[in-house]
Structure 1
Amino acid sequence: MNPRKLTPSMSLLLAFDASARHLSFTRAAQDLHLTQSAVSRQVQALEALLGVPLFVRDQRKITLTGAGSTYHREVAAALQRIRNGSLQAIASQSGSGSLHLAALPTFASKWLLPRLNDFYRQHPGILVHVHSRIGQFDLDQAGMDAAIGVGDGTWPGLVSHRLMDEVLLPVISPALRLEQPLRTPADLLEHLLLVVATRSSAWPQWFAQQGLPASRLRLGPQFELTSHLIQAVASGIGVGLLPSFLVEDELKKGTLELAFDLPLASGYTYYLFVRPEQLTLPSVATFSDWLARQAI
């Protein structure tokens, strides 16, 4: 296929993007400081190049076709990445810039964000845009520069920087402890045991570590988000196994208590994953260095 057909000119894509956002050639023209007829001609030229109608036109309005809607999602994301890349290139000369970071929701809210002000104090010219993501995904397609994830450090196409190992602690609400006192680890066999869905084997491992049979466990509901598990434990639904660094505040405030000071190494580690081409970008390199110091 002719490469030109797959790589329309920027003027055609900008005209299409503005028209798709406003669903109006007139308003798109105002955005682009062009005439309405010029925008309309550029959109028609793009449709002719692709051989696909992108808009349905009537006398009063335009609407996107199915193909046009799909195409706009891709084009809008690509144009935003180009704008971000241009800003990064310009900012790199002044020691400023920004980065788009994907992070596990609870990790971001409970660990990263409380520390981020320290980063801004040291590097006021760099902005960190934090996005919530769970699991692996295509960073390039999502417009992310880096991601914080948990696992074994393997993420195809990305470079990993180790942050910290995950240690799980059994925690309980003070009210539930009063209602059902705990004297020995075996007493937990009488409690409803809560866990994050991705750690479904954690409680059997914890009981095995204590030399107790896992066959008698009362496993309760599982939660996709660690923040939901924390809330469930705090409300007294059951006892939870939670990463130690994510319940520091609750343990200090007394909203949660250690059921027993018997930690379990989960075998998982938190990593910063970076796209290789972003490694030398000043904003990413600076943030990576700062994050590594925080995780010590």
Structure 2
Amino acid sequence: MRRKIPSTNTLTIFEAAARHGSFARAASELCLTESAVSRQITSLENYLDIKLFARVKKQVVLNDAGQAYIKNIAKSLADIEAHTLALMANKGDGGVLELAVIPTFANRWLLPRLQDFRRKHPNIMLNLSEKPQPFMFRDTIFDAALHFDHPAWTGVVKVDLFEERLVPVISPNYFDVAQLTSPQALLNMPLLHKSSRPNAWQHWFELAGYADGISAPGMHFDMYGMVIEAARAGLGAGLVPRFYVNNEIHRHDLMVPFDLELRHEKRYCLVYPEYKQDSPVVQAFRDWIVVIEKEFTGGKPAPALRLQYA
């Protein structure tokens, strides 16, 4: 069935007219006559069977329908242009990869390694966007996601990466480390929680041998990055992935008072929809991330790919 989509030329003219609020200025930008712009807008309105502009004497103003329409199509036009320019620039060798990421994971683990990806794949433009929760790929711009494993990921190809290993951290600038003679001593200071891991401290104390009667009240934060900064500021003890705080530990901004790792809370993975598995840019990023993961975990091979269907 033929798609119900106006010509891109007409939509481009409409976008310019809507942006400028003037047929004359749109005509000047597009090197057209004002009458040509007016004819194209009229043609679009006839196609849609709805008016998009209110015409008052020689002035034109978007009406409610026009404002709603431009809001919905402007980004799509911009995306088409960006992908077209990328394809033209790379002559088909490369492209754009839209990647959804968890904010702190991207900042602390991915970004410091991306220079290597750019060096090996200079013709691939990688765009990152925050998506803290799993989602359905259909009707999004995303080609892939670096995220947590979760049952909500369905109809995807999944590349397992590595598990999350949580350790307690405190600021030696605010707490006397010498007084921490046992893990239970952490209960004498405020405990900092990640909101989506409300039981993590309880599980860590169980690992440390204190399974009964442990209460762990304290501040809650949406992201690990906030927990880390709160610990640095002396607000309490945080329980965070070890690799997130390597730099802070090296600088002595934070320390690990008890080297007990809480494992298997979450597992990181690369996921992408099955219909993207033959995409050259997705394949390039997948192959790269598998190698980087092996280096990070000490050379242990990543588990094989597996398909998951809804």
Same fold (TM over 0.5): yes
- Give the Cα–Cα distance (whole angstroms) in 2 for the partners of residues 201 and 34 of structure 1: 64
- For residue 131 of structure 1, what is the aligned residue in structure 2? 129
- For residue 10 of structure 1, what is the aligned residue in structure 2? 8
- For residue 102 of structure 1, what is the aligned residue in structure 2? 100
| CA shift digits 1:267-296 (9 cap, x unpaired) | 311112223333222222112211121122
- For residue 191 of structure 1, what is the aligned residue in structure 2? 189
Q: Does 1:251 align with 2:249?
A: yes
Q: CA shift at 1:202, angstroms?
A: 0.9
Map 1:113-262 → 2, pairs under 5 A: 113-152=111-150, 154-178=152-176, 181-213=179-211, 215-262=213-260
| Conservation of the 8 A alpha-carbon contact between 1:153 and 1:271 | no
Q: CA shift at 1:89, angstroms?
A: 5.1
Q: Judging changes above 3 Å, is the alpha-carbon distance between structure 1 residues 133 and 8 closer, same or farther for their aligned structure 2 residues?
A: same
| CA shift digits 1:173-209 (9 cap, x unpaired) | 1123317831111112222111211111211111222
- Give the Cα–Cα distance (whole angstroms) in 1 for the partners of residues 212 and 57 of structure 2: 71
Note the residue ranges of structure 1 that are not aligned, 5 or more in a row. Answer: none
Give the superposed CA RMSD: 2.5
- Give the Cα–Cα distance (whole angstroms) in 2 for the partners of residues 282 and 270 of structure 1: 23
| Conservation of the 8 A alpha-carbon contact between 1:204 and 1:214 | no
- Give the Cα–Cα distance (whole angstroms) in 1 for the partners of residues 52 and 135 of structure 2: 28
| Conservation of the 8 A alpha-carbon contact between 1:165 and 1:270 | yes
| Conservation of the 8 A alpha-carbon contact between 2:53 and 2:63 | yes
| Conservation of the 8 A alpha-carbon contact between 1:98 and 1:127 | yes
| Conservation of the 8 A alpha-carbon contact between 1:92 and 1:282 | no
- For residue 31 of structure 2, what is the aligned residue in structure 1? 33
Q: Judging changes above 3 Å, is the alpha-carbon distance between structure 1 residues 157 and 168 closer, same or farther for their aligned structure 2 residues?
A: same
Query: What percent identity do the matched residue pairs reach?
Result: 37
| Conservation of the 8 A alpha-carbon contact between 2:135 and 2:153 | no
Map 1:50-69 → 2, pairs under 5 A: 50-59=48-57, 61-69=59-67
| Conservation of the 8 A alpha-carbon contact between 1:87 and 1:97 | no
TM (norm. structure 1) is: 0.88
Q: CA shift at 1:139, angstroms?
A: 4.1
- Give the Cα–Cα distance (whole angstroms) in 1 for the partners of residues 138 and 30 of structure 2: 27
- For residue 19 of structure 1, what is the aligned residue in structure 2? 17
- Give the Cα–Cα distance (whole angstroms) in 1 for the partners of residues 134 and 55 of structure 2: 40
Counterpart secondary structure, 2:238: strand
Counterpart secondary structure, 2:43: helix
Counterpart secondary structure, 1:258: coil
Count of matched residue positions in the alignment of Structure 1 and Structure 2: 294
- For residue 299 of structure 2, what is the aligned residue in structure 1? none
- Give the Cα–Cα distance (whole angstroms) in 1 for the partners of residues 166 and 81 of structure 2: 42
Q: Judging changes above 3 Å, is the alpha-carbon distance between structure 1 residues 214 and 49 closer, same or farther for their aligned structure 2 residues?
A: farther
Counterpart secondary structure, 1:269: strand
TM (norm. structure 2) is: 0.84
More helix by share: 1
User: For residue 10 of structure 1, what is the amino acid of its counterpart?
Assistant: T
